[in-house]
């Protein structure tokens, strides 16, 4: 249904609830008003997703999960060390596929495995920090995988974290630093 119908129903039912405040059936009007309001809110969230968001590009099939791609964006935070590697969170604004660039918006979380001291040294040499503009070659994934019964959907988990896609950086050589963050950031001072 159209979001305008839900909005109209919410306004109408709320108005009727106020008009018939002392009537015994006012509780039913309030219940339907809240139901219409919830449906309108759901439609508003679905409608608010921009056409050029990474999530929408994967959902509509304009980008295919697992295809090689280059992303360009700004590190939303510094590298997060974890067992066996590090995580990079990139606020992406451009995607390159088959030599063509597309303007996009979305957040990508990449895992960069560190298997030896050499790769660790190469990542340190890149000087990755919050605010660094990077270009990374990877294969992004946004597809449903096998789920055990009762487990949470991969899509839902990503959406709750505000992440549009995930991927793996195979080598530090696939990360190109385009620009260092130049503005003053109090958080960068505190955490460096």
Spatial neighbors of 165 by CB under 8 A, at least 6 apart, are 54, 55, 58, 65, 106, 108, 109, 140, 141, 142, 158
Residue 64, judged by CB atoms within 10 A of its CB (0-12, 13-18, 19+), counts as middle
How would residue 162 be classed by pLDDT, with cut points 50, 70 and 90?
Answer: confident
Would you state the pLDDT for residue 146? Answer: 67
DSSP H or E run through 135:
strand 133-139
CATH 2.40.50.140, the chain: domain bounds: 54-191
Which of 147, 130, 144, 136 lies closest to 173 in space, CA to CA? 136
How would residue 164 be classed by pLDDT, with cut points 50, 70 and 90?
Answer: confident
Residue 47, both tokens: 């409608």
The residue to which tokens 């190469």 are assigned:
122
Give the residue-averaged pLDDT of 165-175: 90
The CATH topology of domain 54-191 is OB fold (Dihydrolipoamide Acetyltransferase, E2P) (2.40.50)
CA torsion 15→21→27→29, rounded to 10°? -20
CA 103 to chain centre: 15
Per-residue pLDDT tens over the stretch 93-152: 999 988 888 889 889 999 999 988 898 899 888 888 888 899 999 988 877 666 677 777
Q: How far apart are CA 180 and CA 36, in angstroms?
A: 48
For 24-28, 50-54, 67-71, 85-89, which range has the lowest pLDDT when averaged over its residues?
A: 50-54
Would you state the pLDDT for residue 184? Answer: 56
Would you state the pLDDT for residue 165? Answer: 86
DSSP H or E run through 74:
strand 68-75
Residue 181, both tokens: 């963050």
Q: What mean pLDDT value characterizes the chain?
A: 84
Would you state the pLDDT for residue 115? Answer: 87
Residue 117, judged by CB atoms within 10 A of its CB (0-12, 13-18, 19+), counts as exposed
Higher per-residue pLDDT: 2 or 116: 116
Per-residue pLDDT at 12 exceeds 70:
yes
Which of 102, 103, 101, 105 lies closest to 90 in space, CA to CA? 105
Query: Is the pTM above the cut of 0.75?
Result: no
Per-residue pLDDT tens over the stretch 50-70: 777 888 787 787 888 788 899
């Amino acid at each position: 249904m159209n979001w305008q119908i839900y909005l109209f129903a919410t306004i109408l039912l709320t108005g009727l609830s106020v008009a018939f405040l002392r009537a015994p059936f006012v509780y039913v009007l309030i219940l339907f008003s809240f139901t219409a309001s919830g449906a309108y809110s759901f439609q508003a969230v679905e409608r608010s997703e921009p056409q050029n968001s990474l999530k929408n590009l994967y959902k509509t099939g304009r980008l295919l999960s697992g295809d090689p791609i280059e992303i360009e964006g700004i590190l939303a935070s510094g590298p997060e060390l974890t067992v066996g590697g590090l995580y990079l969170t990139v606020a992406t604004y451009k995607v390159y596929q088959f030599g063509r660039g597309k303007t996009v918006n979305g957040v990508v979380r990449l895992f960069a495995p560190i298997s030896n001291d050499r790769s660790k040294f190469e990542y340190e040499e890149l000087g990755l920090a919050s605010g660094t503009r990077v270009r990374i070659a990877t294969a992004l994934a946004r597809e449903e995988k096998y789920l055990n019964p009762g487990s949470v959907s991969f899509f839902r988990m990503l959406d709750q974290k505000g992440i549009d896609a995930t991927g793996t950086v195979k080598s530090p050589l696939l990360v190109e630093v385009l620009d260092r963050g130049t503005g003053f950031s109090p958080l960068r001072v505190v955490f460096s």
